[in-house]
Structure formats: C-alpha cells, structure tokens
Amino acid sequence: MLNFLKSKPGECEFRQKCEWDKIAFSFMKECDLILDVGCGEGRFISQDPSRIVGIEQNDKSIQRCKQRDFDVTSGDARSLPYEEKSVPAIHCSHLIEHFAPVDVHKILSEFNRVLAPDGILVIRSPLLWDGFYSDLTHIRPYNPDVIIHYLTPLVQCTLEHISDDFKVIYLKWRYAPLRVGSIYLSNRWGFPWLKKNGYMLVMRKSS
C-alpha cells in the first residue's frame, strides 16, 4: 500500500517506523520481558506497556514516557542495569549510529551480557543516505555485517570478539522512498530498486 500523506508541502509523513515496530514485536511475543534500549518517547513500548520497559538518557523523553505511564528509567546503553542473562529480549532502534565504534562495541557487549539464552535481539538502524549527517548527533552509520561480525563465529576482529552464540534469523532492508516531483511515495519497505537506507536485524542467542 502506497503512502501519499504530507506533513509539509513537498514532504511525506512516513509511517514505516510504526509498521516496523509491529514486525519487531512479532519476534518477541512469547517473551515476558522486553528491554527497549534508547526508547525515546516510547513509541515501541506502546506495543505492550505491560511487558516492555525502557532505558533512555534524554530527560525530556523520559518525562514524556512517564506521562504515558510507561516503565522507563534513566540509563546508559554502554552499562545496562541488569544482571547477566536476565533479559529475554532486547529491542534497539536508531541508537547505535549516535555512538563511536568503541562505544558500539561496548553496547553490543552489554547486549550479549544481559540477554538470556534463547533471547531475541532486534537492532534497527539507518545506513548512509543523503540526509544522514544533517543530524549533528549522528556519528556514523553501521551496516548489519559489523553486528553479525562481532556476535557470530566469524573471522578475526580488530576489537575483541564479543560472542559466538548468536544466529541471524531475520534481516530486512529498508529502501529509499520514490520521489515524483515534490512528492515522496512510500510503501512498507520502500522500493528495492532504489538505494538501501536502513535495516532491521533480528538475532537469537543460543541456549
């Protein structure tokens, strides 16, 4: 289904993020606790506030979550306040691109530490596109291969290898919308003949 909605003249209001939330949550339906790391204002938490808890650093975002009665605490993705192997599922959307490589390594290490056996890890992130660096908080894009590289039994890593225990169970690319004059058209995933501009990576940790 094509999306023609506009938020401003010449711009389109895309609803892909909400659809991707539903798809990500579908992999976690059997989990009794889901940790949303870098939860923002709680868009993903709204999938099931009774089971999804959030970690966030931005005080304004935390306050907005609290106004919606979401369970969100202040915390750092590089040092999660959870015990080893205690979290059945982790969701992390549009976070890692805001960190330098050494910090992304710490974040992935924390995910490995706290995720329980048979746990689900979902990471969503943008790739390099024309507007990527228009956000001053964007450090660099990370393709899914770098995550897979450090969490599965692959070749030598420059930084310390994190885990051999993960397996990719789903990888879906997001593609650029189609521009027709001043209008942007989009469907659920964009148009595959155009440039890739993001992805959803789902991994399972072995028991």
Model pLDDT, residue 159? 86
Total length of the chain: 207
Q: In 3D, which of 165, 59, 172, 65 has the Cα closest to residue 120?
A: 165
Question: Cα torsion for 119, 124, 127, 133, to the nearest 10°?
Answer: -130
Q: In 3D, which of 92, 93, 97 has the Cα closest to residue 119?
A: 92
Domains and CATH numbers, the chain: 16-177+195-205 (3.40.50.150)
Question: Where is pLDDT greater, at 191 or 125?
Answer: 125
Model pLDDT, residue 7? 41
The predicted-structure confidence for 117-159, as pLDDT tens digits, reads as follows 999 999 999 999 888 999 999 999 999 999 999 999 876 667 8
Are 105 and 150 spatial neighbours (Cβ–Cβ below 8 Å)? yes
Please tell me the pTM assigned to this model: 0.87
DSSP 56-94: E--HHHHHHHHHTT--EEE-BTTB-SS-TT-EEEEEEES
Model pLDDT, residue 186? 57
Model pLDDT, residue 196? 87
The predicted-structure confidence for 37-83, as pLDDT tens digits, reads as follows 999 999 999 999 999 999 999 999 999 999 999 999 999 999 999 99
Q: Residue 101: which pLDDT band, with cuts at 50, 70 and 90? A: very high
Q: Residue 26: which pLDDT band, with cuts at 50, 70 and 90? A: very high
Q: In 3D, which of 196, 190, 179 has the Cα closest to residue 10?
A: 179
